[in-house]
Amino acid sequence: MPLRILPEKTVERLSEYRRTLLRCLDEGKTHIFSHELAQLHNITAVQVRRDIMFIAYTSPYRKGYNIKDLVKVIGKIIDPKEAFNVAVVGLGNLGKAVTAYFAGKRPQLNLVAAFDIDPKKIGLEIVGIKCYSMDRLREIIASKNISIAILTVPPNVAQDMTKALVATGIKGILNFTSVTLNVPSHVYLEDYDMITSMEKVAYYVKKKKKQ
């Protein structure tokens, strides 16, 4: 029987829980209660228990969830069985920062290439990741079996670059541009708009000042 697809927000929180749980392990903690995990993420214990119920994990311990066990279960649910290769498309300041930050962070998500149109950046390596010409996009994506692209190009070329990526067979795109992109149904698109996020923060800061 195929596993059901989890809600997007649940997947996001599970990833966040795992990072927190790994920090707890580093600090020598072995067990954690739902209300403790909830407090660390500024959500309710009910939400934590609901998310963990989604992945069918239960703990027999009265001292809370076994952190090592929960980390393993989360990994089995959200990590791919086989590693996915990833490319950064657009090696401007943001692309360089994303490359330096992301490389080596997850063993099942391998950053293997970057692309840009600037001749001065072609051949450049950042933390061991080589930058290739956009002219070689299809060739490199095929030869390195890349299935996920991180898009950090200027907004005015974002949609055209998305079309080019889809044509190469890319299956997922993490969009760091401020443009709303159109992709076919077989491609998963995740938008991360820093301007929108900042405006959201400013909105709630404004509300809190009025309280």
Indicate the domain borders of the chain.
Answer: 8-76, 84-196
Neighbours of 105 (CB within 10 A): 8
The secondary element (H helix, E strand) that includes residue 46 is helix 45-54
pTM, two decimals, is 0.78
d(CA 189, CA 167): 15
Q: Determine the CATH number of domain 8-76.
A: 1.10.10.10
DSSP state string for 119-184 = TTTTT-EETTEEEEEGGGHHHHHHHTTEEEEEE-S-GGGHHHHHHHHHHHT--EEEE-SSSPP---
Question: Digits of tens for pLDDT over the chain (211 positions)?
Answer: 345 688 889 999 999 999 999 999 999 999 999 999 999 999 999 999 999 998 988 877 688 999 999 999 999 888 888 889 999 999 999 999 999 998 877 778 999 999 999 999 999 999 999 999 999 999 999 999 999 999 999 999 999 999 999 999 999 999 999 899 999 999 999 998 888 888 878 887 877 776 6
The answer to whether the 8-76 and 84-196 domains have the same CATH topology is no
Q: Determine the CATH number of domain 84-196.
A: 3.40.50.720
d(CA 87, CA 146): 7
